[in-house]
Structure 1
Amino acid sequence: MVFGLGMITAFMESLMDDGTLTMGYYMELFTKERFMRSVFYSFWITAVSTVLSLVIGLLFVRVFQEKLRGGTGRLLVWIPMLFPHFVWAYLVFLLLNQSGFLSNLLGVSGLMAERTDFPVLVQDPGGVGIMITYIWKEVPFVILMLLPVYASLSQGYKEAATLLGANRVHIFTTAEWPFIKPAIIETGAILFAFIFTAFEVPQLLGVTSPQMIAVLTYEWFYSGAWTDRPFAFAALLLAGGAVGLSMWLLTHAMNNERLRLASGGRGG
């Protein structure tokens, strides 16, 4: 109820202009170069982080699924899930900034002459540090979501495909992918929704320009100019609405896919 009240209040604030209801703030958002740059930047960071997390997590499960079923292997992989995102962001900062652990190690070993020779990987315009943090943190989540799927996957499909002369790629596309696709897409949707609207990691590891959506709206909300606050509400509601609608559509599509698989792959 509190969440719903907050959403209604934010929506009303985004519509008010000197006591008059207007959609002007929403329309003006799309004319703001800073906002549009933030949208594309957020989408780029989110897409790369999500895709790489899914690919690495999937490969990890396929290669090490037997070891991951044991207690020790599973514990080692899931340790990152015990800590908040800002903790891993701070670790990335300590490890990868130009005066951090890795640059000092390379300097002491004689492999690097100056600290400035170390590439800028955190607080960089490309968002490399942000992506490294999310990939590091989200790969265990992908493993968590995919491991039960592979544990219940029948080996009969693989054996049949092998007997028919299929190579590894065909075995994966015909005997694995149809069954893991719903879990992959749903996991990707969860990651995309979380990263696109996240605040703490881009705030710690990002730069002043470009900024991700949550950081930009935070600055608008707490800036000295009260006229920026409606833009902050409007931007958050647009981002949240787009993510929420996409999540609902994907969930609906994946539920239909599961029903199709449960019925033996028949359409309808």
Structure 2
Amino acid sequence: MARLLGPLLVSPALIVILLLFMVPLAASVIGAFEVEGTVGLGNFTKAYDFYRQDIVFTAVIVGLSTMLTGLLAIAIGGYLTLGENAAAVAILRWLYRWPMFIPFIVVGQILRTFLAKSGLFNSTLVALGFLDPLTATSYLDWRGVVVAFVWKQTPFVALMVAGAMASLDRGTIEAARNLGASRLRILIEIVVPQVTTTLLVGLVLSFVTMMGVLSVPLMINAQAPTMITADIAFRLSTYRDYGVANALGLISLAISAVAAWFYLRVNMRQSR
């Protein structure tokens, strides 16, 4: 009986994974290679011919957003760990987490209002005298998508990185301070190398999350090129073309797998 207790406890989770992940994934893989009752690469050829610019656009936008997210997460975690102004540290610790609790669809709607040509951002610059109303431009393009992704994902990665930094041995940090090292040098040369694994985990999870977001590109970047998720939605809603949609989904999976491979390679290198 004791031997059966373990499998019984994990069986609900395994059933959920099987029904909600493995079965749809298998159906998508099979559907991507089905072309009018035969097996072939026609769906991938059509996806490449129609959406190759969107595929490159997606990889670049998500990659850029991931890089900026990592830099901001390091800056936030570093200030929380090395900051000397107690009030500023307390305010930052309370403030930076809020975007974590805002859904992507709400983020898209907020930034549509904030980054529009007559939105709050341009209106503030005009009121401060930094911008002429006639030269104001809309940021509802790839820049708005990057801002949305970075603003939403930075708190998630920063929370992981700040926790890892807080658990470090303070002796090495204090020794570096006694030797006259600046806070920036301590952060780059001492703190960051010790939390690289945690940082990479957060960035890979953020990369995969951003690859699957639909609401932000639809609400902010209503022009070409756009992201693969918008192409999948368009292919399903307009043409009911599940073959090309499945092919685009597998292409997204392949791009995400590259990020996972990079993380595993770095992790194995550190382990050796």
Shared fold, TM over 0.5: yes
Q: Residues 66-81 of structure 1: matches in 2 within 5 Å?
A: 73-81=92-100
Identify if the C-alpha distance between structure 1 residues 242 and 131 changes in structure 2 by more than 3 Å, giving closer, same or farther: closer
Find the aligned partners of 2:162 and 2:132 in 1 and give their Cα distance: 44
The correspondence for 1:237, drawn from 247, 250, 260, is: 250
The correspondence for 1:94, drawn from 71, 91, 113, is: 113
- Deviation per CA, 1:42-76, whole angstroms, max 9, x where unpaired? 11211221111111121122123365998765332
RMSD between aligned residues:
2.9
Aligned to 2:10: none
The correspondence for 1:185, drawn from 194, 200, 210, is: 200
Kept in 2: contact 1:68–1:74 (CA 8 A) = no
Letter in 2 for 1:187: G
Letter in 1 for 2:43: Y
Kept in 1: contact 2:78–2:187 (CA 8 A) = no
The correspondence for 1:221, drawn from 216, 233, 236, is: 236
Aligned to 2:26: 8
Q: How many corresponding residue pairs?
A: 251
Structure with greater helix share of residues: 2
Identify if the C-alpha distance between structure 1 residues 53 and 242 changes in structure 2 by more than 3 Å, giving closer, same or farther: closer
Aligned to 1:263: none
Aligned to 2:53: 37
The correspondence for 1:17, drawn from 35, 40, 64, is: 35
- 1:113 CA drift (Å): 5.3
- Deviation per CA, 1:23-50, whole angstroms, max 9, x where unpaired? 23224433x1x42101111112112211
Find the aligned partners of 2:197 and 2:169 in 1 and give their Cα distance: 16
- 1:243 CA drift (Å): 1.1
Identify if the C-alpha distance between structure 1 residues 155 and 198 changes in structure 2 by more than 3 Å, giving closer, same or farther: same
Please, what TM-score do these two structures have when normalized by structure 2? Answer: 0.79
Find the aligned partners of 2:237 and 2:209 in 1 and give their Cα distance: 22
Identify if the C-alpha distance between structure 1 residues 70 and 118 changes in structure 2 by more than 3 Å, giving closer, same or farther: closer
Q: Residues 202-221 of structure 1: matches in 2 within 5 Å?
A: 202-221=217-236
Stretch moving more, 17-26 or 186-195: 17-26
Identify if the C-alpha distance between structure 1 residues 47 and 22 changes in structure 2 by more than 3 Å, giving closer, same or farther: same
Which consecutive unaligned segments of at least 5 residues does structure 2 have? 1-17
Identify if the C-alpha distance between structure 1 residues 242 and 96 changes in structure 2 by more than 3 Å, giving closer, same or farther: closer
Find the aligned partners of 1:58 and 1:241 in 2 and give their Cα distance: 28
Aligned to 1:51: 67
Stretch moving more, 162-171 or 80-89: 162-171
Find the aligned partners of 2:238 and 2:232 in 1 and give their Cα distance: 10
Find the aligned partners of 1:132 and 1:256 in 2 and give their Cα distance: 32
Kept in 1: contact 2:53–2:225 (CA 8 A) = yes
Kept in 2: contact 1:186–1:254 (CA 8 A) = no
Find the aligned partners of 1:201 and 1:43 in 2 and give their Cα distance: 15
* SS of aligned partner of 2:224: coil
- 1:165 CA drift (Å): 6.8
Find the aligned partners of 1:104 and 1:161 in 2 and give their Cα distance: 45
* SS of aligned partner of 2:222: coil
Letter in 1 for 2:117: Q
Identify if the C-alpha distance between structure 1 residues 170 and 62 changes in structure 2 by more than 3 Å, giving closer, same or farther: closer
Identify if the C-alpha distance between structure 1 residues 198 and 149 changes in structure 2 by more than 3 Å, giving closer, same or farther: same
Kept in 2: contact 1:186–1:251 (CA 8 A) = no
Aligned to 2:78: 62
- 1:129 CA drift (Å): 0.8
Identify if the C-alpha distance between structure 1 residues 136 and 68 changes in structure 2 by more than 3 Å, giving closer, same or farther: farther
Q: Could you tell me the percent identity over the aligned residues?
A: 21
Identify if the C-alpha distance between structure 1 residues 206 and 222 changes in structure 2 by more than 3 Å, giving closer, same or farther: same
* SS of aligned partner of 1:47: helix
